[in-house]
Amino acid sequence: MALSSSMLNGERGVVVLIVCRVLYSLPLSLLCPGLNLAILSLFALFLDIRLDDSAALSRFKTRPGASSGILLGAVTLPTVMISKLIQLTRAYSLQQIELQELEHMTMQYWATSASCFGVLIFLCLVVLSTPNTKRFPRSFSVWDATLSIFCVATYAVTCCVSLAAISHTGSNTVLKLMWELYHGLVAVMLIQRLLDKFPSCASIGELLLVTVGLVLYFGDMLACTIAKVSGSLISTELVSIKYGIRRSEISIIIQVWRIWPLGQFIHQFMTAFTDHRDSDLLIVSHFSLLLGCALPIWMSSGFNDRPLAPFAGILSLGIGDTMASIVGYKYGVLRWSKTGKKTIEGTAAGITSVLAACSILLPLLASTGYIFTEHWFSLILAVTVSSLLEAYTTQLDNAFIPLIFYSHLCLTSTFLRVFTIISKDSSSDEKLIGVQ
């Protein structure tokens, strides 16, 4: 019965709903990545349950009071990437982008997925190697081993099939598989270092999100550097990327450091506004808030046919989370769970405030050339699911909520057409271009 109760907690239920929402929106051309995401989610859910019910979690010095968060940490970035992949697939079918940009995002998805799956395999081995105790007897059965082998085998098959589909030769496929394997191995080594160097600072799910983000960032920077230095031959044969995305070189060297002479004063100011998720060693609340607001904007710098997507962080954190905190603190009575502090009144206020902000923002965006229809159901669903995740999760919501909300906004059908009027010259007729 203990296993059954742990399987039905609110955070896992909301995450499963999020994954189902994304899988429902997949076109047939993305069947392999979709199946891969489903397998990744199943494996992560299995390990999330097993790790919470075993002594393996005690081997890691994670943030006190937080669950492992493996499921949320493992599916967040792959969900964002596959949502972006759906968006670019839609753009490619309308001839708005080139094939190279779509292949680039496909490689980015598999790099993210491989990093997450590599860490999950590492955690699975940790559970297997944990000795039996009276309090936490090993519950890894034959069925568990069979499920793990099935997930690993199915993951490998979907990865090979998908990469082979965008490769020109067999050797090109092998090189791409090695590139993804490199991401997985580096992610495993990095999360071990983070767990060792930052004890009691974060949950496994939060560290998994940070790890995969760093590996993806530096892997992309390495691939871009190789492409710049060695020319199109290396970029094509190694990672099959011609880097059709328009990017500035300065974006590769973005930093957040405690730099003299202002770094110490900023650190003291930030320390005055910390909460239980922060430690003396590492302050994450402020940084994750800024990053949560900025990431959707950065990720929308290329093709974007969903005008609300860049505002995902500002809407979910700056408006929704703020209003939920104020109303929940002053008027909240009904709690979502016996152990949590989040209230139903606060969540309702957060949902209402975000929808109200969207109702104001949409007419403003309409004046820039977007024509909207009244398909509000998908937008309401995106706001509601993100707010429910914020209510149930014990993870760092500033980091997870904007990414989940962004991925859902990439799938919304509220924005159907973009019309741009382009004049050929002063004497010719105007040309009307529509984007469905």
Model pLDDT for residues 296-350, shown as the tens digit of each residue? 888 887 777 788 888 999 999 989 988 998 999 888 888 888 777 888 999 999 9
Percentages of the chain per state (helix, strand, coil), in multiples of 5: 70, 5, 30
pLDDT value at position 275? 64
| Residues 406, 383: Cα–Cα separation, whole Å | 10
**Regions in the chain scoring below 50 on pLDDT:** 1-5, 232-246, 250-255, 257, 414-436
In this structure, which amino acid lies at residue 435?
A: V
Is 2:135 a contact under the CB 8 Å cutoff? no
pLDDT value at position 29? 87
CA nearest neighbour of 218 among 253, 262, 166: 253
Compute, in degrees rounded to 10, the torsion defined by CA atoms 315, 20, 70, 86: -70
Q: What is the pLDDT of residues 148-204, one digit of tens each?
A: 889 999 999 998 888 888 877 778 888 888 988 999 999 999 999 988 888 888 888
pLDDT value at position 2? 41
pLDDT value at position 238? 42
List the structure tokens of 274: 């910390």
Is 413:86 a contact under the CB 8 Å cutoff? no
| Residues 64, 276: Cα–Cα separation, whole Å | 9
Preceding amide of 261 cis, omega within 30: yes
Is 341:391 a contact under the CB 8 Å cutoff? no
pLDDT value at position 410? 85
